[in-house]
Amino acid sequence: MEKLPHSVLFCCDHNAVRSPMAEGIMKKFYGAGTYVQSVGVKNDMEIDGFSIAVCQEIDVELGRHRSRSFDEMEQWGDDLSSFDLVVALSPASQRRALELTRFFHLDVEYWPIMDPTGLGETRDAKLEMYRQSRDQIIQRLTARWGQPKEAE
């Protein structure tokens, strides 16, 4: 079990499915002691409705999430070098994070979280795929930083 870092950046391809889920769940589980953000390689999609739905099931609110890219993050003043840990949830975001961090002493970890988009034929089947991705994120978080703290 590791001590929580001061700041974590989750990244995936579009900042619409996996990284917002990871950001929201981490904030809920571990409170405000860690600065948590998420970002995508591209910002060409809004937050995914299925992501919102499966996170609502565990009381994590994603409806207000605004997707952003690495480039926008820098424009908005969040410097990559200010994060203790970058967690990439897709191969493309891992490549981009490594590219951007090669000048900084920064840990980039890769957590292979399934991309649920486009999987499942029916609404229920789709929700089931998103739940699997959500649960993979939860397993990674709790394996790394322990069980969630009780909500303050």
CA torsion sign for 78, 35, 100, 52 is: negative
Average the pLDDT over each of 23-27, 82-86, 111-115, 123-127 and give the range with the smallest value: 82-86
Q: Confidence class of residue 80 from pLDDT cuts 50, 70 and 90?
A: confident
CATH of 7-145, one of 3.40.50.300, 3.40.630.10, 3.40.50.2300, 3.40.605.10: 3.40.50.2300
Q: What is the mean pLDDT of the segment spanning 127-131?
A: 97
Per the structure block, which two tokens stand in for 66?
């605004």
pLDDT at 28 over 90: yes
The overall average pLDDT reported for the chain is 91
Q: What is the pLDDT of residues 130-141, one digit of tens each?
A: 999 999 999 999
User: What residues contact residue 92 under an 8 Å CB cut-off, 6+ apart?
Assistant: 13, 41
CB atoms within 10 A of CB 89: 28
